[in-house]
Amino acid sequence: MKFTRALSLIIAVVLAPFVAAAPNTQSDTIANSAKLKQKLTETLSVEVHSLQQSPIPGLYEALTDRGVLYITKDGSKLFHGSLYDLDKGMKNLTEAAMAGPRMKMIKPLEDNMLVYKAKNEKHVVTVFTDISCGYCRKLHNQMDEYNDLGITVRYLAFPRRGVPSANADEMEAVWCAADPLTAMTEAKAGKSIKTAKCDAKIAEQYHLGQSLGINGTPAIILEDGSMIPGYQPPKDLLRALESIN
């Protein structure tokens, strides 16, 4: 069964085994870990990076190249979606599970980022962007304001039409330009950028975005790995960054 089809099916998770299950801890050993990873890979065509206890007893949390999935201990049932903690102000536990791994997964592509560095740097955000999306252009038009607030903005490519596509080729032209930062500004102003080829790793950037649970642009990754899906005005972004420090 293909990933998209499988995850569109809402599968009821049987609650009875959960009630009798022992309390979950991060250090619990998952005896059938290899078997569960293999089943997820074969059934959904996903790569499983890690498998651990979830906040719900009897349910495991799988970090995959398509985001977080939840699977029962016997591997018979699957849940895809967000878990919230009602006792902690509706904290998104699924998002929290992705925060730490995001920063580790982003690091290998740091050399491929287009960086707009603040002179008085106080914070660094990573933004998955597309040259044609309206709110990406709005964010870019305010780059000086972000920088003036001490926010360094690092861009990674997320061509919304996927890879390969004309959209991806256009983004490669930006990354491979003689002056990529200027080319980005021109591209987001609607100007055509001369075709160029180089080892920009546009496909790798795009697939990384998918792995991090990104499905639209802009997507802003904060310093703790948490993600804001969508545009944030400069002062609002600063408040969000200050709230985690």
Which of the residues are catalytic? 130, 133, 136, 160
CA–CA distance, 106 with 182 (Å, rounded to integer): 24
Which phi and psi angles does 56 have, rounded to 5°? -105, 120
Cα separation values, 183 from 76, 83, 103, 125, 175, Å: 50, 41, 27, 20, 8
Determine how many CB atoms are found less than 10 A away from the CB of residue 123.
Answer: 20
Torsion, CA 81, CA 85, CA 88, CA 89, rounded to 10: 50
CA–CA distance, 123 with 117 (Å, rounded to integer): 10
Torsion, CA 86, CA 228, CA 226, CA 208, rounded to 10: 120
